[in-house]
Amino acid sequence: MDVDRLHRRRRRWKERLMTVLIYLSVLVALLPLFSILIYVAIKGIGALNWDFFVRLPGPVGDPHAGMANAIVGTLELLLVAAAVGLPIGILAGIYLAEFGGHGLFSNSVRFLADVLSGVPSIVIGIFAYALMVLPVKHFSGWSGGVALGIMMIPVVTRTTEELIRMVPRSLREAGLALGVPRWRVTVSIVLRTAAGGLTTGAMLALARVAGETAPLLFTAFGNRYWHRSLNEPVAALTLQIYQYAISAFEDWQRQAWGAAFVLIIMVLILNILARLGTRSKFSTQQE
């Protein structure tokens, strides 16, 4: 009797202890998140002013130094990345969903897309360097954009495939029954139905590569001045943060926080927009 009660009490205590530990683990994981967001916000906003957005980087101590070229550079690199990653990813995703089935070819494409998404970003950087920098012997914005685009491809492909597969069969059948050719059914009905989700996927993929630094180190390389074209080394916010963060100058470190704030806002906006998009898509789909 007594042993039994002791045993029961021990089990109850263990239950409580584990519950507390699990709650704690959530707190422990979120602590760094809040710390990062708060530091970036406080130190970042403190470093921002009008000059930051319209002026070029300056020497240490220059009160009017900015990162206009890096902001523009990041946007241009993302544009190139989207131009590379979205068409390839979406069309490949369409193929996998509409014609793919589970044959050898489609399964290898799926497997290799997964492989590609697991490749460390710095290795993608080496690849883009070998492909586009080495032959012309100079760094370029193009190579950086392509490196980011390659990183987008697997994400976009798998998202597209999944979304297209979620389009109800009845919609397709309705189109086919009306005598619409198959490719028109895919383009006008299936893709249009999945459009919201595709936008979400595209934005998440862009958000993911917007913060990448490693693939740009040997491709876009960074630039302290305006680039005249994407055929030259191009500045990017991430590269600038890296360079300034590891510098020995307090002034540059301060600007690194400013750039981090701008970058994180960009990434967060893309993420939140994407999530809002998902929510409305699902709510309409359930009707």
Partner 1 sequence: MSSSATGIPGQGHHPPAGRTGSGGTGEQPGGPLAAGGLQFSSRPRRGLADALFKAVTGAFASLILVLVLLLVLELVRSSWPSLKAFGWRFLVTQTWDPVRQQFGALPFIFGTVVSSLLALILSVPVSLGIAIYLAEMAPHWLRGPVSFLVELLAAIPSVIYGLWGIFVLVPLVRQLEVFLGTYLGFIPLFSGPPYGIGMLAAGIILAIMITPTIAAVSRDVILAVPNSQREASLALGATRWETIRNVVLEYAQSGIIGAIILGLGRALGETMAVTMVIGNRPEISASLFSFATSLTSVIANEFNESGGALHISALVELGLVLFLVTIVLNSLARFLVWQVQQRNGGAARV
Nearest distance, CB of residue 141 and partner 1, angstroms: 16
Nearest distance, CB of residue 228 and partner 1, angstroms: 22
Nearest distance, CB of residue 186 and partner 1, angstroms: 7
The interaxial angle of helices 191-210 and 250-285, nearest 10 deg, is 160
| CA 227-231-233 angle, 5° bins | 50
DSSP states of 69-138 as a string? HHHHHHHHHHHHHHHHHHHHHHHHHHHIIIIITT-HHHHHHHHHHHHHHHS-HHHHHHHHIIIIITTTTS
- Considering only CA atoms, which of 31, 49, 65 is closest in space to residue 261? 49
Nearest distance, CB of residue 121 and partner 1, angstroms: 7
Q: How is residue 47 written in tokens? A: 């470093």
The Cβ-side half-sphere exposure at 30, using a 13 Å CA radius, reads 6
Nearest distance, CB of residue 82 and partner 1, angstroms: 15
- Tell me whether residue 54 or residue 115 sits nearer to partner 1 (CB atom): 115
- Considering only CA atoms, which of 88, 123, 93 is closest in space to residue 106? 93
Tokens 């369409």 belong to 94
- Tell me whether residue 128 or residue 230 sits nearer to partner 1 (CB atom): 128
- Tell me whether residue 54 or residue 183 sits nearer to partner 1 (CB atom): 183
Nearest distance, CB of residue 50 and partner 1, angstroms: 23
- Tell me whether residue 59 or residue 120 sits nearer to partner 1 (CB atom): 120
Q: Which amino acid makes up residue 9?
A: R
- Tell me whether residue 56 or residue 190 sits nearer to partner 1 (CB atom): 190
Residue 237, H or E segment = helix 237-245
Phi/psi-derived region of residue 156, left when phi > 0, alpha when psi is between -120 and 50, beta in every other case: alpha
The Cβ-side half-sphere exposure at 161, using a 13 Å CA radius, reads 22
What is the distance between the alpha carbons of residues 253 and 241, in angstroms, rounded to a whole number? 8
- Tell me whether residue 54 or residue 233 sits nearer to partner 1 (CB atom): 233
- Tell me whether residue 1 or residue 22 sits nearer to partner 1 (CB atom): 22
Nearest distance, CB of residue 48 and partner 1, angstroms: 15
